[in-house]
Structure 1
Amino acid sequence: MSEGEKARTSGEVSRPEPTLPTVNPDAQKSEPAKAALHPAFYVSTWIALSSSVILFNKHILANESAPFPIFLTTWHLAFATLMTQILARTTTLLDGRKSVKMTGRVYLRAIVPIGIFFSLSLICGNVTYLYLSVAFIQMLKATTPVAVLFATWGLGMSPVNLKVLLNVSAIVVGVIIASFGEIKFVFIGFLFQIGGIIFEAIRLVMVQRLLSSAEFKMDPLVSLYYFAPVCAVMNGVTALFLEVPKMSMTNIYDTGLVTLTANAMVAFLLNVSVVFLIGKTSSLVMTLCGVLKDILLVAASMAIWHTPVTALQFFGYSIALGGLVYYKLGGDKIKEYTSQANRSWAEYGSTNPGQRRAVVIGAIVIGFFLFVGALAPSYAPESVDRFRGALGSASTGNA
């Protein structure tokens, strides 16, 4: 079609002829509007599930009778395989897979290699819980965008850009400072976490390259539908050689069948929540939610497991988080969003002064309790120990 024909077609579409209504306008107006959940619901759900999975895994693997991280991630993937198969046959959540042109050849050449790196990242990530605290793990995870950037360059997805490298340098510097401040530094755990970050970065870049084709557009749940089976098999084979010979049914019973089922269900629901979060929020919201989640996990680690976090770590981690937000959004976007937020906050205050005052007071109260809870191990260790004991008894189903 020529450029002139395109222009005429565009002009015709933009000025439609009046037509007779096919629906009674009065009846259409009387139809009640469908209730929609506020985006804050999806945000809070994702933060709660994401944090719960990490804390849940750490709680299970901290138990001396269940130091089997590879078996645990195999169980998660097997459960996810079962649930995605059920959802594909009973709901519309996985209808997106019908538009994916998946063949045996594509599965072997694309899905399986990505699944290998997915398995390696999950194995390394879970093994790290045996050596490092949740707080320090979250600090190290701040370097994931840097690893993804290097993987993108290494796999030829984009040219090397020194300006971008300078932008992410703050993240690296912050994490290095935080690592020097870590009191319980375990080198083997550090290596496992770095390995997990590298494998995850390679996986993300390979997925990006796969999804660059329109015929392979997949949401996170459809991706799980394809990747979970192959990862479950790979992790299962690894666990069969490394962990199963040391395991017995006593280990599983000590952990609790209910606990393992709940753990796998929370991990699966996290993948479901990501689908809704992506569709209901913006990149700004997702970036800030990720930062908030990491901060809450550091505070939770300090409160539940007495994790010591030094002032040097706080300083380094603050630099890393600031660099992460700047890298994700850019200076211009940050200024734009900040000015928009200030205007919205001022307008909200002029129309709802009482509600704004309540929001400020609520934020101060929540921040105070988070701060006090994080410092609880230093001034109320017995109370924290009692809380941890009650948490352990509840999760294993004991009285």
Structure 2
Amino acid sequence: MADISQVLAALLAMGQWVFLSVTLILFNTWLMHYGGFPLPLTLCALHMATSFIIAFVFQLVGLVETNLTAAQIVRLVVPTGVLFAAAICTGNEAFLYLTVAFIQMVKAWTPTVVLILSVIAGLERLSLRLVAIVLITSGGVALAIYGELKFALFGFVMVLVSIVLDALRLVLVELLYSSSEVRLSGLSGVLYMSPVCFLAVLPVAFVFEGDRVRNIVDSGVVKPHLVLLNCCCAFMLNVSSLVLVKHTSALTLKVVGVFKDWVVIIVSSVVFNSAVQPMQWIGYSVAFIGILMYTHYKYEQYVRSVGAESALDPAELERLRSNSHDGVADAECDKSDADETNVVAHCSLAVLDRFEPARSMLTDRASLQN
């Protein structure tokens, strides 16, 4: 009976994460196109401010740990937070020019960028297998781009910049945190990251969108309660990621994210009546094969790291098990290796974790069976 309840809890966690992720992507797009709020930078700043306020309230009641020093915040949180904010803003900007389905297809190229940067940084060794993953994924994305009828160069450039920035963030996280015992997990990651992102975005939003914000507020076109609801959805998505990993594993979050992308493409094409050409379906299917190859590659690394259990003493193993269930791995480590995200697409505040599923991702045998 206990096993059935665990399975049901895991399925419910997966369902709510997919639902919230897809909902927020569509909500963001609707709000910027039809809800009278075409302000991607301001929207990002509001997301961060709301996430910080809610996380701070949780910290006041003792639900969030705060154990970083000022030096650790400057060295670890600030650089990755600035990159994350820049990736989100450029990604959101693209939604003003391109369809959701097309953006999602182009984001399938993220693992390729992460792998290339990881090889350059010395985090991965170049091999024929990695070259095959890069070529297959890139070829599929190229076909998807070629088949797009509503192509906008500026929007496409924004997507590419967003992908590169988020990939740089992931590689930087691995470089900085590989030699540090610091872990930001769950709500503590939101508490530390959101104000950094907010402060990074705010001056840029003021310069480029300040006048438009005042005009929109004065006109009364936008509904404040819808913007607030959108911000709360962004925070809820982060919590749902935490719940999903708690009931399954960080690897499950990655695999479910692959499925979620198909849902986003199909649902968005129906909701916003954006046609997806046969060439694009073929291209994304090819890229999807590359993503599956990449996921299997990371899974093999994960299995090897779990095999190190026997070499750990019981106290250390228990600590790692606790960390693996308390920390949410980057949802976008497989595609944006972001949302979480597709962290960039839906403005979810990804939690800082290591790019490689090394010892910080160790979990018990039961989690692997989930």
Q: TM-score, normalised by structure 2?
A: 0.75
For residues 2-151 of structure 1, the aligned pairs below 5 Å read 38-63=9-34, 65-92=36-63, 94-95=64-65, 97-98=66-67, 102-151=68-117
Counterparts of 1:248 and 1:283, CA distance in 2: 42
Residues 52 and 195 of structure 2 are in contact (CA less than 8 Å); yes or no, is this contact kept in structure 1?
Answer: yes
Match of 1:263 in 2: 230
Question: What letter is aligned with 1:316?
Answer: G
Q: Give the letter for the 2:229 counterpart.
A: A
Task: Extract unaligned runs of 5+ from structure 2.
Answer: 304-370
**Aligned-partner residue type, residue 75 of structure 1:** L
Please identify, of 134-143 and 150-159, the stretch whose mean Cα deviation from structure 2 is larger: 150-159
> Is the Cα contact below 8 Å between 2:106 and 2:159 reproduced in 1?
yes
The structure with the larger Rg is 1
Match of 2:140 among 165, 170, 174: 174
- CA shift, 1:205, in A, is 1.5
Q: What is the aligned-residue RMSD (CA, Å)?
A: 2.5
In the alignment, the residues of structure 1 paired with residue 186 and residue 172 of structure 2 have an alpha-carbon distance, to the nearest angstrom, of 14
Listed one character per residue, the Cα deviations across residues 62-106 of structure 1 (whole Å, up to 9, x for unaligned) are 0373221100000000111111111112252x23x44xxx22222
CA distance in 2, matches of 1:109, 1:91: 26
Amino acid paired to 1:160? L
Structure 1: how far apart are the matches of 2:127 and 2:81? 29
Letter in 1 for 2:53: L
Contact between 2:35 and 2:222, CA under 8 Å: does it hold in 1?
Answer: no
2:268 paired with 1:319: no
Higher mean C-alpha displacement, 286-295 vs 190-199 = 286-295
SS of the equivalent of 2:181 reads helix
Give the whole-Å Cα distance in 1 for the aligned partners of 2:270 and 2:134. Answer: 30
Find the counterpart in structure 2 of residue 278 from structure 1.
Answer: 245
CA deviations over 1:247-297 (Å, ceiling 9, x no partner): 226448422111011100010111111112223224553343112211111
Q: What SS class does the counterpart of residue 135 from structure 2 fall into?
A: helix
The aligned residue for residue 247 of structure 1 is 213
- Identical counterparts, % of pairs: 30
Mean CA deviation greater in 176-185 or 57-66: 57-66
Amino acid in the other structure paired with 2:16: T
Amino acid at match of 2:74: L
Aligned positions, number: 298
Where structure 1 has 5 or more consecutive residues not aligned to the other structure, the ranges are 1-31, 337-399
With 75-84 and 57-66 compared, the bigger mean Cα shift is at 57-66
- 3-state SS of 1:307 partner: coil
Q: Distance in 1 between matches of 2:267 and 2:91?
A: 19
Distance 1:331 1:280 in 2: 20
Higher helix share: 1
2:273 is equivalent to residue 299 of structure 1: no
